[in-house]
Amino acid sequence: MEIASLGVVPLTRAAFAPYGDVIQAIGAQMRPINGGTTQRFHDLANIDVTGEGARVLVNIFRGQSFAPPIDIKMLERHPLGSQAFMPLQDRPYLAVVAVDEGGRPGTPVAFLCKGNQGVNYARNAWHHPLISLEAESDFLVVDRGGEGNNLEEFFFADCLYRIDSI
């Protein structure tokens, strides 16, 4: 089996756009509310759910910490809804994603996300499960509940991708 090294790139709205949304206050539309005592950073992610009985879920996921080398053996996607992750501690994490190539993920891309940046994986976007860095970390997760199979997994058989450094 071939091992391909993945570099890690900074998370930006433009670079992540093919896979979903970046959730952060920086560069977002701000509206003062509550008599000017609160700043609302408006419409940060397109929460997209479909299917019979679909509803939006709000969860907390607690991710174990990873350190390089990190092997990327599989990716998953959710055909019936987007999935948003917002860190609850100021710790970095990785978002590993890939475009779809004929029903399977293409070559993964690894984004280094700051502790004040969230991601919203678009419906059907291939992504790796949560990769916390530095310490076990909690994330507010908004995704889909309801009927239907909303998980597809793909295991790389021909190539193992590895993140050697961050």
Which one, of 163, 162, 166, 97, lies nearest residue 134 by Cα?
A: 166
Does residue 68 contact residue 164 with C-beta atoms inside 8 Å? yes
Q: Which domains does the chain have, with CATH numbers?
A: 2-163 (2.60.120.480)
Question: Token pair for residue 72?
Answer: 């990327």
Strands 93-98 and 126-127, sheet pairing = antiparallel
What's this model's pTM, rounded to 2 decimal places?
A: 0.90
- Residue-level pLDDT, tens digit, the chain, 166 residues: 889 999 999 999 999 999 999 999 999 999 999 999 999 999 999 999 999 999 999 999 999 999 999 999 999 999 999 999 999 999 999 999 999 999 999 999 999 999 999 999 999 999 999 999 999 999 999 999 999 999 999 999 877 899 999 9
